[in-house]
Amino acid sequence: MLYVTWISLLLLLSNVLTASVNAHSTHALLLLPTHSHAAVSGQRCPAPDPNLNFRPVIGIVSHPGDGCSGRLSNATNASYIAASYVKFVESAGARVVPLIYNEPPEVLYKKLSLVNGVIFTGGSSKTGLYFEVVTSIFKDVLRKNDAGDRFPLLAICLGFELLTMIVSKDNNILERFSASDQASTLQFVENIDISGTVFQRFPPVLLNKLSTECIVMQNHKFGISPEKLQKTESLSSFFEILTTTADSDDKVYVSTAQAHRYPVTALQWHPERVRHKIFDLKCKCFIFNIPMQKNAFEWASSSIPHSEDAIQVTQNVANFFIREARLSTHRPPSQEVLDNLIYNYSPTYCGKAGKGFDEVYIFS
């Protein structure tokens, strides 16, 4: 008897649901997993924008040395790229071709023809073959853009200093600043328009933190003051100052600049080395940790920040740069790209000592 009652209740519920669906059939439709929403609605997923390059490739210029103070290679022709720069690019949806600065020019420029943008990394070398190669690549970046192909350049720390020297044609233009291992803010130029710049898609809360909290990592002894940049016609006509920063002696230098006519972004600060503020119970005060290298991808030191704010800064800069590279119209042969990707090399682990980079790609 109980079984019959349950059957009756189920039939009644079925009739109610059927009536409800029929009454609202013009407004609602239950689709099973096997049914196609697109077929029912007559809509399909939009085709990818043919004007965008969804397989961008970035060239990273190698820097003299082994990245580990000679612990891995003392070869005079050794150069390296920190693996964290590669991961930085990958995190935003692109791949890397290493531009080994001391390869034969015909090899180097063949590789340059395969990429949609370039990164000049941090480091210390400002002379010799390295300076000559960076200068040549920079001029090629400008030529590509002048020819109508969007070809972005991201210059970080040393990269910014090299661009200052190259654009001004003055190898002694840099000024000394006390900004080694320094946490800082970024002070935005008054009434600056950040649309189209590296800061355009930063969340407002994070922009505020950049200007009010010392979450940015500075690690340099050279730079250029806003006064000197503005008085140097070649520099002021090329760059627009976006932010400035004061060093430990309260001397102000340009910390972010954007080219007026080209997709060239120069950062004196390290987007991959962002600090964050913590409260120390011992001294009952706020202190800043001292990151050694990339906040998102380096773990060689326990002091490297991996806070949400730090990761957001890294990711926003990476997204901006790769978004620029997607505007490139250049589509190199896929097999040639595969033959030259950095995956053809193996990174070397050097973070055991707790210093320097966790991994580096060494070329010699």
- The active-site residue out of 214, 270, 276, 350 is 270
If you count them, how many residues does the chain have? 364
Q: Is 306 a catalytic residue?
A: no
Q: Which two tokens mark 188?
A: 């935005």
Which member of 68, 157, 214, 350 is catalytic? 157
Q: Is 157 a catalytic residue?
A: yes
Among residues 61, 53, 198, the alpha carbon closest in space to that of 116 is found at: 53
- Whole-angstrom CA distances from 180 to 190, 248, 255 are 26, 9, 14
What is the secondary structure of 240-305 as a DSSP string? EEEEEEE-TTS-EEEEEEEESSSSEEEESSBTTS---EEEETTTTEEEE----S-TTT--SSTTS-
Instruction: Kindly report the three-state secondary structure assignment for every residue of 104-127.
Output: CHHHHHHHHCCCCCEEECCCCCCC
Q: What share of the chain is helix, strand, coil (3-state, %, to 5)?
A: 35, 20, 45
The closest alpha carbon to 188, from 153, 154, 216, 147, belongs to 216
Instruction: Please tell me the distance from the alpha carbon of residue 146 to that of residue 35, in angstroms, as a whole number.
Output: 50
Which two tokens mark 336?
């040639």
Q: Order across the sheet with 348-349: list the strands.
A: 63-64, 79-82, 359-363, 348-349
Tokens of residue 354, six digits: 């707790």
Q: Which residues are catalytic, by number?
A: 157, 270
